[in-house]
């Protein structure tokens, strides 16, 4: 395996895979470094991706790997990136294997980290009976009784938005939630519960039978919806990249971050617009910029 590349792609999700495809079709030498542990690994299916609606996330990646294998200039490598260092002509990328590789451009496409609330059963039901994105999973639970865990009262509008999919809805708010928030929800026909959720009860691997409150009361719901706290990965934090107010990686119109020769695509730079199909499109678009940057008059400058 070589040590010099036109582009090094960090992250093997939809954004990184799409970037590798565009790079391969442009004839650029590309290395895709996949750290594993995709965010949607727990989900039984991936949705809202035209021609792949309902596919298993693992199958999506397997098909993508098969397609990339047709391009001789594209290589894949499992591992974690520990750091980047500018050498004036690009970036040196150091990995947990002890190996270092050089890329004229680096694309960060490593996504985000979800931090679930410390409630019994939530982690085990994540992606099955506990969800965050109605565009991803709402259709499969349409017209059911939804529970919404409103950890931040500022997200009351999020709860009301979910009514488009839900048949019935119970919103679990903090005990100190302002009366205005409660009134906003109740005036829209939503049941409000101030007692804390302490346990989630699974039913069939796809839905819930209910939740248990702090006093032992059981509330029957069929799915629980929440907005997990999200953070950038350790690499983004270590690099000290500029972030937007919403926590997404800042970038210019071409995808360039605050660090020269480092671009970003996908969920790490998306803000609230986190969808597999969005990430794939963003990876492709940003790689168009990279192709233009590393070529001159149709010829690669390496």
pLDDT digits (tens, 9 = 90+) for 129-174: 999 999 999 999 999 999 999 988 888 999 999 999 999 999 999 9
Which of these three, 158, 193, 225, is where a domain ends? Answer: 225
- Same domain as 158, residue 84: no
Q: Residue 27: left (phi > 0), alpha (psi -120 to 50), or beta?
A: left
d(Cα 82, Cα 100) in Å, to the nearest integer?
Answer: 10
**Is there a single domain that holds both residue 234 and residue 104?**
yes
Distance of CA 132 to the CA centre of its chain: 11
Residue 83 shares a structural domain with residue 53:
yes
Do 147 and 240 belong together in one domain? no
Residues 160 and 215 grouped into a single domain = yes
pLDDT recorded at residue 155: 85
225, 257, 283 — which closes off a domain?
A: 225
* 101 and 186 share one domain: no
Residues 79 and 151 in one domain: no
Report the CATH number at residue 144.
Answer: 3.50.50.60
Calculate the average pLDDT of the chain.
94
Asked whether residue 23 falls in the same domain as residue 153, the answer is no
What is the pTM (predicted TM-score) of this model? 0.92
* Contact between 122 and 293 (Cβ < 8 Å): no
Question: Strand, helix or coil at 25?
Answer: helix
Looking at residues 106-132, what average pLDDT do you find?
95
Phi, psi of 56 (to 5 degrees): -65, 135
Spatial neighbors of 242 by CB under 8 A, at least 6 apart, are 249, 250, 257, 258
Instruction: Please give the Cα distance from 180 to 300 (Å, whole number).
Output: 60
Instruction: Name the 3-class secondary structure at 171.
Output: strand
- In sequence order, the 6+-apart residues with CB closer than 8 A to the CB of 204 are none
Q: Choose one of 208, 225, 242: the last residue of a domain.
A: 225
Which residue range is the domain that position 296 belongs to?
Answer: 4-113+230-300
Give the per-residue pLDDT at 302: 46
Residues 189 and 259 in one domain: no
Q: Is 60 a residue whose pLDDT tops 50?
A: yes
Q: Are residues 134 and 235 in the same domain?
A: no
Are 234 and 189 members of one domain? no
Distance of CA 31 to the CA centre of its chain: 21
Q: Collect all residues with Cβ–Cβ distance below 8 Å to 257 and sequence separation of at least 6.
A: 108, 241, 242, 249, 250, 251, 263, 264
Q: How far is CA 129 from the centre of its chain?
A: 18
Tens of pLDDT along 214-264? 999 999 999 999 999 999 999 999 999 999 999 999 999 999 999 999 999
Q: Are residues 109 and 236 in the same domain?
A: yes
Q: Give yes or no for residue 301 having a pLDDT over 60.
A: no
Structure tokens at 144: 């059911």
Q: Which of 279, 271, 207 is nearest to 12 (CA)?
A: 279
Beta bridge partners of 116: none
Over range 68-79, report the average pLDDT.
97
* Structural domains in the chain (count): 2
Sign of torsion, CA 53 58 64 67? negative
């Amino acid at each position: 395996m070589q040590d010099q590349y036109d582009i090094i792609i960090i992250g093997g999700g939809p954004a990184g895979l799409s970037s590798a495809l565009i790079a391969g079709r442009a004839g650029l030498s590309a290395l895709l470094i996949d750290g594993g542990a995709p965010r949607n690994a727990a989900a039984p299916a991936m949705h809202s991706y035209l021609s792949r609606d309902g596919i298993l996330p693992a199958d999506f990646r397997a098909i993508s790997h098969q397609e990339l294998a047709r391009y001789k200039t594209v290589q894949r490598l499992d591992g974690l990136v520990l750091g980047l260092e500018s050498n004036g002509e690009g970036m040196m990328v150091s990995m947990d294997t002890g190996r270092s590789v050089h890329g004229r451009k680096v694309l960060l496409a490593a996504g985000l980290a979800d931090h679930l609330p410390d409630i019994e059963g939530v982690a085990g039901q994540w992606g099955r009976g506990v969800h965050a994105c109605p565009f991803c999973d709402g259709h499969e639970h349409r017209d059911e009784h939804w529970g919404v865990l409103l950890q931040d009262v500022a997200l009351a509008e999020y709860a009301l938005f979910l009514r488009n999919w839900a048949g019935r809805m119970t919103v679990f708010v903090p005990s100190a939630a302002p009366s205005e928030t409660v009134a906003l929800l109740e005036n829209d026909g939503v049941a409000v519960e101030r007692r804390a959720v302490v346990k989630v009860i699974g039913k069939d691997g796809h839905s819930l039978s209910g939740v248990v409150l702090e006093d032992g009361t059981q509330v029957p719901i069929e799915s629980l919806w929440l907005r997990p706290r999200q953070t950038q990965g350790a690499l983004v934090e270590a690099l000290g990249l500029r972030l937007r107010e919403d926590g997404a990686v800042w970038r210019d119109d071409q995808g360039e971050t605050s660090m020269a020769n480092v671009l970003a695509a996908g969920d790490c730079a998306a803000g609230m617009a986190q969808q597999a199909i969005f990430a794939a499109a963003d990876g492709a678009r940003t790689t168009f910029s990279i192709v233009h940057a590393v070529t001159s008059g149709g010829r690669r400058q390496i």
